[in-house]
Amino acid sequence: MGRVKERTPALRERVVGAALELLEDGGVGAFTARRVAAGAATSTPAVYELFGDKAGLVRELFFEGFRMLRLRLDELDEPLDARRGLADVVDALRSFVGDHPVLAEVMFSRPFADFDPGPEEAEAGRAVREFIVGRARHAVAAGTVAGDETDIAHVVLALAQGLAAQETAGWLGTSRSSVDRRWSLAVTALLDGLAPPRRRLSRRT
């Protein structure tokens, strides 16, 4: 009689939770299917039944990361000021990467050689992109910024991602005040640079 399959939703959820915990606590180098299985109180074959292989498990974390990030963005209040709305997105991205630095690396970099995101994985970030594009669209309509809403969303995400990576690596400063000041400088420069010419002129006079 063959072994009973352990592929259940409850086990899947437990394995993903254990994988996230291991990734955050031990980093990329400590991440193995065996250790994930131990953390989830199951067997390595059961993990493979659920996800196929280690790359399949990393792929699930990739998707889970973007689900978590979208939930973080959904917690933002509706902005009364469109400029503040874009700045809030940057703040949310910063806090997410600060809380989940290794997971963010999986989402935005390629730390695992055996996991190479393809077109389907690229769609994982659609909900996040749509949220940021929506904030950019609101800012364009309000006259706070000028340009293509999708271009603006990409630039906002790139700024936040780059600064967060620098902060995580310790390159953005040695004190909280210096790090915060450089974040503020970068966000202000970005939003001022995206402002319509008449607004840029009025800020100088």
Task: Based on the fold, state whether residues 93 and 157 are members of the same structural domain.
Answer: yes
**Res 1: pLDDT:** 37
Residue 110 is assigned to a structural domain of this protein: yes
Task: Based on the fold, state whether residues 150 and 96 are members of the same structural domain.
Answer: yes
- 80 lies in which domain range? 62-204
Distance of CA 4 to the CA centre of its chain: 37
Predicted confidence band at 125 (pLDDT cuts at 50, 70, 90)?
Answer: confident
167-198 per-position pLDDT tens digit: 999 999 999 999 999 999 999 999 999 999 87
State the burial class of residue 156 (Cβ atoms within 10 Å of its Cβ: 0-12, 13-18, 19+): buried
Question: Is the pLDDT reported for residue 139 higher than 50?
Answer: yes
User: Which residues are CB-contacts of 85 (< 8 A; sequence separation ≥ 6)?
Assistant: 79, 135, 138, 139
Question: Is the pLDDT reported for residue 38 higher than 70?
Answer: yes
Average pLDDT of the segment spanning 117-130: 85
**Res 119: pLDDT:** 78
Higher pLDDT: 1 or 171? It is 171
Residues 20-59: b if buried by 16+ CB within 10 A, e if exposed: bebbeeeeeeebebeebbebbebeeebbebbbeebeebbb
Task: Based on the fold, state whether residues 90 and 118 are members of the same structural domain.
Answer: yes
Task: Based on the fold, state whether residues 66 and 96 are members of the same structural domain.
Answer: yes
Predicted confidence band at 2 (pLDDT cuts at 50, 70, 90)?
Answer: very low
CATH of the domain at 132: 1.10.357.10
How far, in Å, CA of 61 to CA of 20, rounded? 7
**Res 133: pLDDT:** 97
Question: Is the pLDDT reported for residue 199 higher than 70?
Answer: no
Residue 2 is assigned to a structural domain of this protein: no
Task: Based on the fold, state whether residues 154 and 112 are members of the same structural domain.
Answer: yes
How far, in Å, CA of 25 to CA of 27, rounded? 6
Residue 57 is assigned to a structural domain of this protein: no
Task: Based on the fold, state whether residues 69 and 33 are members of the same structural domain.
Answer: no
Tokens of 31: 């991440």
Task: Based on the fold, state whether residues 47 and 136 are members of the same structural domain.
Answer: no
Task: Based on the fold, state whether residues 173 and 132 are members of the same structural domain.
Answer: yes
Task: Based on the fold, state whether residues 92 and 148 are members of the same structural domain.
Answer: yes
Average pLDDT of the segment spanning 157-174: 95
SS3 173: coil
Domain count within the chain: 2
72-122 per-position pLDDT tens digit: 999 999 888 999 999 999 999 999 999 999 999 999 988 888 888 777 777
